[in-house]
Chain A
Amino acid sequence: MKTYDVAIIGSGAAGGMTAHVLTQAGLDCAMLEAGPMKSPAQFPVHRLRRWQLPFRGLRGDYFQEWLTETNFLANDAKEPYSVAPGGEPFEFWRVRAVGGKSLFWAGVTPRFGPDEFQPKDDFDARWPITYGDVAPYYDKVEELIGVSSTSEALGAFPLNKGLRPMRPKLAELEFAKVVGKLGRGLKMIPIPKAILTQDHRGRPACHHCGPCWQGCDSGSKFDSLRVFVLGARRTGKLDLLTGARVRSIGVKDGMAESVHYWDANDRTYREVRAKAVVLAAGCIESAQILLNSKIANSSGLVGRYLSEHLYASVGGYLPQLMGRKIVNEDGNGAHSFIPDLTANWRGNKFIRGYQIFPGGGIPETTMVGKSLPGYGAGWMKAVRDYYTAGVGVTFQGEVLPYRDNRIEIDETIRDEAGIPGVRFHYKWRENENAMFRDMMDVGQEMLRAAGAETLPNKNPKPLEYGHSIHYVGTARMGRDPKSSVVNPWNQSHDVKNLFLNDGAAFVTAGNQNPTITILALAMRSSERLAELMRRQSWE
């Protein structure tokens, strides 16, 4: 049986970057992806319109029905998971296709700043690396994948190295007029996104068709499939194994030597042998594989410190946007945002920070008719007026890493291959509650300042646990093998030829979208892995 140089588990952003770096370095790689290879022509975008969906996209998450109907999601009945007794539900999104969640992300790429790597408060641990260690990799990643962004550096918010920014949307300009007057030091700037504003490395500029989260048909948004996996295959150095659901990693004499997987194509267990293994299955499934393998866990911390982002939003209608001409204003989601500008406006009610996405546009549809009295032609005219005027302020905040927020193996639930599933223990605490209250205050203040008509928000709640899909933690990075799972190079303390290149290694969630940081760390650790293999040394 062939022994590969490296087996890469997962084909999303982290796995794709790993394959890109390692195949460029001439290493022989196998990539295992639980889902099938799908063509961009199979993405829901332009293929499945709202009126073709039985529930019209009105139930579940905003893209759930599109991805369910096109079979891009893991079937929860066939691959079950559970929540600890007394716990609230946790949204656990698993895309089953080559490219993983990168196919359906929104493309937002703010870098972590110095304060995310080295928080100024005393809560829990700091990263064993600094912004300066990662900055060169951010530069390289942004050039590679193409990031459109702001040209202004703001406080602790680092500048992306990017293509020209997107033009602001009309509703965003209305918020931009007022945020500076709130006395909190807020500033709206163009949002950094891995969406091209000009042709870049063989991929075309964005054509502004709207729902990036239904999959980008032109490849203008970064996804791992087109930017990394296909290119890595063309080198002849990557064997792509699809339908390969990994159960465990085999370790002998303290070194990983094989990956055991269930082949969904013929429902048979197989194995791949390799000199090194990279886990990039998404932090929850990567931890699940480690726990099912019973390896790399001398610290007892695998699965712990699971984190993601607190999401909340408020909405209303701006009368100054009513009755305007209907134009194609889809763009690609938010074009502007308010980065976390740290201590100058947060006060002392909570630690860490949040990003704000204020915006609106002329959407595909509106449900405002339910909140407007009456019916008939006159009421329909009112619906049209409110239709162009809907705005919202969405918040994305840091959830602190708590030791007891974790996944563990639930032996009582098994998938169709007999692989034990995961059980979630997850809860937000006082800091998240205080942050949420502050978000609501700021949101109402912004809507009021912009002149929005709103409905009373009597019992505001954050969105469900896991809604952000920004899962990080579960195998945190550190120098001390007693208090961390991987070293500062994403390398397992216990099993030296095992790397965790996805969000598992994150020590803090930051308030920024994680993908650009996952990509930068995956590039950094993959270069290190290639160098170690060249030197034939694991130290």
Chain B
Amino acid sequence: MANNRREFLLLWAQAAMAAQGSSGGKFLSEAERATLNRAAAILIPATERSGGAAAAGVDAYVDFVLSKAPAKLQEEWRAGLKTLGAAKNLESKIASLAKQEFAPRTRDDWFFVLLKGAVVEGFYTSQEGIEKELGYQGMGHVMEFPDFTNTVTAIPGDYKPMLRTRG
């Protein structure tokens, strides 16, 4: 089971890139998009820095990739969004799924992994995510590159390793 579900992560990453120029989209229904947007706004809420996933149009990105994805991945998303849409309390459903994020077992657990990965991609590649949330300053003209040779670097006092991976 786990190995089958893991395959969906690969299929997502490999969704076919059109040979030249791209058109697509309109895979998800309005109801599915609404569920996706509600879930995305819980994962990446608006903060004082940015408007979060809702302002970034994450749903359009996810919809586009899914429109280029194999049918079995599309079905996995349909089923996953249906489950989330039926949850009485979406916040507590997501909170419980997130506990198994790095040790997923059930189909729902694995869908959360897919969902979060897609939302991370959609948000952190959007103008909202890059320019507001991350505050990227690049792509501009800098006549003198900054001189870092005397910059002191130190590990922040509250640092603790957080990186995780799935088995």
Answer whether A327 and B125 are a contact pair too, CB < 8 Å, given A59-B13, A370-B117, A455-B163: no
Whether A365 and B17, one on each chain, are in contact in the complex, defined by CB atoms closer than 8 angstroms, is no
Whether A320 and B146, one on each chain, are in contact in the complex, defined by CB atoms closer than 8 angstroms, is no
| Separation of A63 and B120 alpha carbons in the complex (Å) | 20
Instruction: Give the tally of cross-chain contacts (CB within 8 A).
Output: 186
Which chain A residues (323-359) contact chain B, with CB distance < 8 Å? 323-324, 326-331, 335
Task: Chain B residues near A169: list those with CB within 8 A.
Answer: 148
| Separation of A380 and B124 alpha carbons in the complex (Å) | 11
Answer whether A328 and B163 are a contact pair too, CB < 8 Å, given A59-B17, A205-B143, A364-B130: no
Whether B155 and A320, one on each chain, are in contact in the complex, defined by CB atoms closer than 8 angstroms, is yes
User: A441 at the A/B interface (Cβ < 8 Å)?
Assistant: no
User: A516 at the A/B interface (Cβ < 8 Å)?
Assistant: no
Whether A170 and B43, one on each chain, are in contact in the complex, defined by CB atoms closer than 8 angstroms, is no
Whether B126 and A320, one on each chain, are in contact in the complex, defined by CB atoms closer than 8 angstroms, is no
Whether B17 and A326, one on each chain, are in contact in the complex, defined by CB atoms closer than 8 angstroms, is no
| Separation of A366 and B165 alpha carbons in the complex (Å) | 16
Task: Chain B residues near A173: list those with CB within 8 A.
Answer: 148-149, 151
Interface string of B131-153 (1 = CB under 8 A from A): 00111111111110111110101
Interface string of A379-420 (1 = CB under 8 A from B): 010111111000000000000000000000000000000000
User: A62 at the A/B interface (Cβ < 8 Å)?
Assistant: no
| CB contact between A51 and one of B14, B130, B161 (< 8 Å): that residue | B130
Separation in Å of the B4 CB from the closest CB of chain A? 19
Whether B120 and A210, one on each chain, are in contact in the complex, defined by CB atoms closer than 8 angstroms, is no
Whether B162 and A380, one on each chain, are in contact in the complex, defined by CB atoms closer than 8 angstroms, is no
| Separation of A319 and B31 alpha carbons in the complex (Å) | 42
Whether B61 and A364, one on each chain, are in contact in the complex, defined by CB atoms closer than 8 angstroms, is no
Task: Chain A residues near B120: list those with CB within 8 A.
Answer: 367, 369-370
Whether B138 and A374, one on each chain, are in contact in the complex, defined by CB atoms closer than 8 angstroms, is no
User: B88 at the A/B interface (Cβ < 8 Å)?
Assistant: no
Whether B136 and A68, one on each chain, are in contact in the complex, defined by CB atoms closer than 8 angstroms, is no
| Separation of A65 and B151 alpha carbons in the complex (Å) | 36
User: B20 at the A/B interface (Cβ < 8 Å)?
Assistant: yes
| Separation of A207 and B143 alpha carbons in the complex (Å) | 5
User: A120 at the A/B interface (Cβ < 8 Å)?
Assistant: no
Segment with Cβ contacts to B, from A13-21, A29-37, A69-77: A69-77
Whether A380 and B133, one on each chain, are in contact in the complex, defined by CB atoms closer than 8 angstroms, is yes
Where chain A touches its partner, the secondary structure class is: loop
Whether B138 and A328, one on each chain, are in contact in the complex, defined by CB atoms closer than 8 angstroms, is yes
Separation in Å of the B3 CB from the closest CB of chain A? 15
Whether B137 and A362, one on each chain, are in contact in the complex, defined by CB atoms closer than 8 angstroms, is yes
Task: Chain A residues near B101: list those with CB within 8 A.
Answer: 373-374
| CB contact between B163 and one of A363, A451, A454 (< 8 Å): that residue | A454
User: A371 at the A/B interface (Cβ < 8 Å)?
Assistant: yes
Task: Chain A residues near B18: list those with CB within 8 A.
Answer: 54
Whether B142 and A362, one on each chain, are in contact in the complex, defined by CB atoms closer than 8 angstroms, is no
User: B33 at the A/B interface (Cβ < 8 Å)?
Assistant: no
| Separation of A69 and B154 alpha carbons in the complex (Å) | 42
User: A123 at the A/B interface (Cβ < 8 Å)?
Assistant: no
| Separation of A455 and B122 alpha carbons in the complex (Å) | 23
| CB contact between A362 and one of B43, B127, B136 (< 8 Å): that residue | B136
| CB contact between A55 and one of B22, B124, B134, B154 (< 8 Å): that residue | B22
User: B1 at the A/B interface (Cβ < 8 Å)?
Assistant: no
Task: Chain A residues near B70: list those with CB within 8 A.
Answer: none
Besides A50-B130, A51-B130, A317-B163, 18 more A-B contacts (Cβ < 8 Å) are A51-B126, A55-B22, A56-B122, A60-B17, A73-B20, A77-B20, A208-B145, A319-B155, A319-B159, A322-B155, A365-B134, A366-B124, A366-B134, A369-B120, A372-B163, A375-B94, A383-B134, A385-B156
Enumerate chain B interface residues (CB-CB to A < 8 A): 13-15, 17-22, 24, 42-45, 47, 61, 64-65, 94, 98, 101-102, 116-117, 120-122, 124-127, 129-130, 133-143, 145-149, 151, 153-156, 159, 161-165
A-B contact pairs, 6 of them (CB 8 A): A46-B139, A77-B20, A168-B149, A170-B151, A365-B124, A373-B162
